[in-house]
Amino acid sequence: MAYSDKVVDHYNNPRNVGSLPKDDPNVGTGLVGAPECGDVMKLQMKINPETQVIEEAKFKTFGCGSAIASSSLATEWVKGKTVSEALSIKNTDIVRELSLPPVKIHCSVLAEDAIKAAIRNWKTKHGVEAAAEEKVAH
Amino acid sequence: MSATRTASMSPLICWSCRERALGPHFCSNCGKIQQLPRDVDYFAFFGLPRKLWIEGAELEKKFLQLSWQLHPDNFVHATEREKDLSLERSSQLNDAYRTLREPVSRVEYLLAIEGARKEGEQKQQAPPELLEEVFGLNESLDELREAKAGGGDLSALKTRLEAAENNFQEKLAEVDEQLQGIAREWDAALDNNVENVARNKLMARMNDLLNRRSYIRNLVRNVAAELTG
As for the ipTM of the complex, it is 0.78
Contacts of A40 in chain B (CB under 8 A): 126, 131, 134-135, 138
Mean pLDDT of chain A: 88
pLDDT digits (tens, 9 = 90+) for A39-50: 889 999 999 999
Chain A residues with beta carbon closer than 8 angstroms to that of B222: 38
* pLDDT exceeds 60 at position B211: yes
pLDDT of residue B79: 93
pTM for this prediction: 0.69
Residues of B with Cβ-Cβ distance to A31 under 8 angstroms = 131-132, 135
pLDDT of residue B121: 46
pLDDT by residue (tens digit) across A6-55? 898 998 889 999 999 999 999 999 999 876 667 889 999 999 999 999 99
Q: Residue A5: CB partners within 8 Å, gap ≥ 6? A: none
Predicted local distance difference test score (pLDDT) of residue A37: 67
Q: Does A17 touch chain B (CB under 8 A)?
A: no
**A64 in catalytic set:** no
A29: Cα within 13 Å, side-chain hemisphere: 14
Q: For a pLDDT cut of 90, what percent of chain B falls above it? A: 44
At B4, the pLDDT band (50, 70, 90 cuts) reads: very low
Per-residue pLDDT, B97? 97
Mean pLDDT of B75-97: 94
Q: Which residues contact A58 (CB under 8 A, 6 or more apart)?
A: A16, A17, A18, A19, A20, A43, A44, A45, A75
How many angstroms separate the CA atoms of B7 and B142, rounded? 53
| % of chain B beyond a pLDDT of 70 | 90
Taking the Cβ of residue A18 and every Cβ of chain B, the question of whether any pair is shorter than 8 Å is answered with no
CATH assignment of B7-101, among 1.10.150.300, 3.50.50.60, 1.10.287.110, 4.10.490.10: 1.10.287.110
In the prediction, which pLDDT does A35 show?
65
Which one of B120, B135, B218 has the shortest CB-CB distance to A31? B135
The distance of A89 to chain B (nearest Cα, Å) reads 19
The answer to whether the beta carbons of residues A105 and A91 sit under 8 Å apart is yes
Backbone torsions φ then ψ of B113, nearest 5 degrees: -75, -25
Q: What is the pLDDT of residues B107-158, one digit of tens each?
A: 999 999 998 776 554 455 666 777 888 888 888 888 888 888 887 778 888 8
User: What pLDDT is attached to residue B39?
Assistant: 74
Q: How far is CA A63 from CA A35, A41, A111, B13, B184, in A?
A: 11, 8, 12, 52, 35
Q: Select from A22, A31, A39, A40 the residue whose CB has the most chain B CBs within 10 Å, as the one to mutate to test that interface.
A: A40
Span B45-65, pLDDT tens digits: 999 999 999 999 999 999 999
- Among A70-84, A113-127, B107-121, the minimum mean pLDDT is found in B107-121
Using an 8 Å Cβ cutoff, are A122 and A47 in contact? yes
Is residue A56 classed as helix, strand or coil in its secondary structure? strand
B189/B201 Cα distance (integer angstroms): 11
- pLDDT attached to residue B6: 44
Classify residue B126 by its DSSP letter. P
